[in-house]
């Protein structure tokens, strides 16, 4: 039993934290994260040089990492600096391309020369990939895709993009070089897009990639949860500092018990979130993968909202301003719950797992 980071992870975490502290300025971020292409090239190259992108892929697939702890360490740092670079889409895309042995794409992604994104969800879906309307049909040697994909994180400027669509065999995975995008900034910064597919030519990677997709999505969920823990840690620090500095009625806000107890509850939830990420990281790749990933996403959704709302409230009026970094952290924590299934979706997923277990119990009693 040991909860400390390994030496390698400590090194990775330190160097990424230093790089972002030196180069990722919150004010520049608060402009550029909301303007096309919603990303900073120099930061992306820096991440590639640091080995951050390569850490998402195992050595046998051309990277130098690939485990869930690698992903969690990196995303916690991204969360601490509120980095909106499109790492999530590239993480999930890289996992899938590596799983299907696409060495060339993997190499170029790890080098930071290209970026990718994963188009899986649709206007009528949020978490469960079995509700998919986009279809792929074979047309001679080629494949053609029809349907509409939404919530494609990091799609602006990315390519080729991975697109999931139904096939006769299951859920297929396809590559489209540069699809037409309906791009937008996200509320909390960073780019997102819808993709309208009208008989678009695509390269088929697999006609039945459901299991690999679920795996990449679960890893994406762990990444988001680790990012949230990084963001919560910073937001709590900022809130504590503010309560110590700010004086009203002739005394620091930190002396008011009504406020003290609320900060303690934030701290308590943060510790719980840290723990559930550890559970999800440990569960990844095992029989409990979906259960622990859903637990993490559910708890992070609930606690992220609570911590964000409390942080805004405890800052008072200044917490409502664009100028205050804490406000952007709070915004990110609320919006993380909207990605890759929210706390309700993941409660449902847990319920389905619990139900299977209850049926098993009923049969054996």
Partner 1 sequence: MDLEFTEDENRFRNEVRTFLKQKLPSSISKKVRCGIELDREDYLRWGAILNARGWLATTWPKEYGGPGWTAVERHIFTEECAVNAAPRMPAFGLTMLGPTIIKFGSETQKQEILPRILDGTDWWCQGFSEPGAGSDLASLKTRAVRDGDHYVVNGQKTWTTLGQHANRIFCLVRTATEGKPQGGISFILVDLDTPGVDMRPIRLIDGSCEVNEVFFTDARVPAENLVGEENQGWSIAKYLLTHERTNIAGVGFSMLDLERYRNLAATTWRDGRRIADHPVFAARVAEIETDLEALRITNLRMLADARDGAATGVGSSLLKLKGTQVRQALQDLYRSALGPHAAPVADELSENELALPVEAARAAPVYFQHRKLSIFGGSNEIQRNIVAKELLWE
Tokens of 307: 């911590």
Q: Which residues bind partner 1 (CB under 8 A)?
A: 1-6, 69, 240, 243-244, 254, 257, 260-261, 263-265, 267-268, 271-276, 278-279, 281-282, 292, 295, 298-299, 302, 347-348, 350-351, 354-355, 357-359, 361-362, 365
| C-beta closer to partner 1: residue 334 or 347 | 347
Minimum distance from residue 198 beta carbon to partner 1 (Å) = 38
- Which of the 8 DSSP states describes residue 125? -
- The strand ranges marked E within 29-86 are none
Environment class of 53 (CB within 10 Å of its CB; exposed 0-12, middle 13-18, buried 19+): buried
DSSP 340: S
Q: Which is nearer to partner 1, 77 or 188 (CB)?
A: 77
Residue number, 135 or 240, with CB nearest to partner 1: 240
Could you give phi then psi for residue 334, rounded to 5 degrees? -70, -40
C-alpha–C-alpha distance, residues 114 and 123, integer Å = 27
Q: State in angstroms the smallest separation of the CB of 224 from partner 1.
A: 16
Cβ at position 39, least distance to partner 1 in Å:
31
CB of 125 to partner 1, least distance (A): 20
Nearer to partner 1, 76 or 122 (CB): 76
Q: How far is the CB of 45 from partner 1 (least distance, A)?
A: 30
Q: How far is the CB of 362 from partner 1 (least distance, A)?
A: 5
- Least distance in angstroms from the C-beta of 319 to partner 1: 18
Largest CA distance in the chain: 79
Shortest CB 243 distance to partner 1, Å: 6
CA-to-CA distance for 343 and 299, rounded, in angstroms? 7
**Collapsed DSSP state (helix, strand, coil) of residue 102:** coil
- Give 182 or 264: the residue with its C-beta nearer to partner 1: 264
Phi, psi of 153 (to 5 degrees): -70, 135
Rounded CA separation 22/77 (Å): 13
In eight-state DSSP terms, residue 208 is -
**The total number of residues written for the chain in this structure:** 365
Closest CB to partner 1 among 116 and 292?
Answer: 292
φ/ψ region of 154 (left if φ > 0, alpha if ψ in -120 to 50, else beta) reads left
State how far the Cα of 304 lies from the Cα of 337, in Å rounded to an integer: 8
SS3 (DSSP) at 236: helix
Residues 269, 105: Cα–Cα separation, whole Å: 40
Phi/psi of residue 99, nearest 5 degrees: -60, -30
Kindly tell me which of 104 and 362 has the beta carbon lying closer to partner 1.
Answer: 362
Q: Least distance from C-beta 210 to partner 1, angstroms?
A: 23
């Amino acid at each position: 039993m040991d909860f400390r980071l390994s030496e390698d992870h400590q090194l990775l975490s330190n160097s990424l934290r230093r790089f972002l502290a030196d180069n990722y300025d919150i004010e520049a971020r608060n402009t550029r994260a909301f303007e096309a292409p919603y990303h900073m090239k120099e930061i992306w190259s820096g991440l590639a040089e640091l080995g951050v992108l390569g850490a998402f892929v195992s050595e046998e697939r051309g990277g130098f990492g690939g485990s869930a702890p690698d992903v969690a360490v990196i995303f916690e740092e991204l969360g601490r600096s509120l980095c909106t670079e499109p790492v999530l889409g590239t993480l999930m895309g890289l996992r899938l391309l590596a799983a299907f042995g696409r060495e060339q794409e993997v190499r170029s992604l790890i080098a930071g020369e290209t970026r990718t994104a994963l188009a899986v969800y649709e206007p009528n879906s949020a978490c469960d990939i079995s509700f998919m309307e986009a279809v792929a049909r074979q047309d001679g040697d080629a494949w053609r895709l029809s349907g509409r994909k939404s919530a494609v994180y990091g799609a602006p400027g990315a390519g080729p993009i991975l697109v999931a669509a139904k096939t006769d065999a299951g859920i297929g995975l396809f590559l489209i070089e540069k699809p037409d995008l309906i791009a937008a900034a996200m509320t909390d910064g960073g780019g997102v897009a819808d993709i309208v597919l009208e008989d678009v030519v695509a390269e088929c990677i697999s006609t039945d990639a459901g299991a690999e997709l679920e795996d990449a999505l679960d890893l994406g969920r762990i990444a988001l949860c680790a990012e949230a823990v990084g963001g919560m840690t910073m937001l709590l620090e900022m809130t504590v500092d503010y309560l110590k500095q700010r004086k009203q009625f002739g005394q620091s806000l930190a002396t008011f018990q009504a406020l003290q107890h609320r900060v303690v509850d934030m701290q308590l939830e943060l510790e719980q979130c840290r723990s559930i990420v550890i559970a999800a990281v440990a569960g990844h790749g095992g029989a409990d993968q979906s259960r622990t990933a859903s637990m993490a996403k559910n708890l992070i959704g609930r606690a992220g909202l609570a911590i964000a709302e409390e942080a805004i409230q405890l800052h008072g009026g200044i917490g409502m301003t664009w100028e205050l970094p804490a406000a952007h952290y709070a915004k990110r924590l609320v919006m993380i719950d909207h990605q890759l299934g929210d706390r309700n979706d993941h409660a449902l997923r847990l319920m389905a797992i619990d139900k299977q277990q209850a049926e098993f119990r009923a049969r054996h009693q």
